[in-house]
Amino acid sequence: MIRTVIVDDEVLATVGLKAMIDWPAHGFEIVGEGDNGESGLEVIRRLRPDVVITDIMMPRIDGLEMMKRVLSELPGTRFVVLSGYNEFSLVKKALRQGARDYLLKLSLRPETLLETLDALRG
How confident is the model over 50-77, as pLDDT tens digits?
Answer: 999 999 999 999 999 999 999 999 999 9
Q: What is residue 91's predicted lDDT score, i.e. its pLDDT?
A: 86
CB 65 within 8 A of CB 97: no
- d(C-alpha 24, C-alpha 6), whole Å: 15
- Are 40 and 66 contacting, i.e. CB atoms less than 8 angstroms apart? yes
109 CB-contact burial (10 Å; exposed 0-12 / middle 13-18 / buried 19+): exposed
* Amino acid 71: pLDDT: 96
pLDDT of res. 87? 83
Which of 30, 32, 34 minimizes the C-alpha distance to 8? 34
Burial 35-56 (b: 16+ CB within 10 A, else e): bbbbbbbebbeeeebbbbbbbb
Neighbour tally for 12: CB within 10 Å:
9
* Residues of the chain predicted below pLDDT 70: 122
Side chain identity, residue 36: N
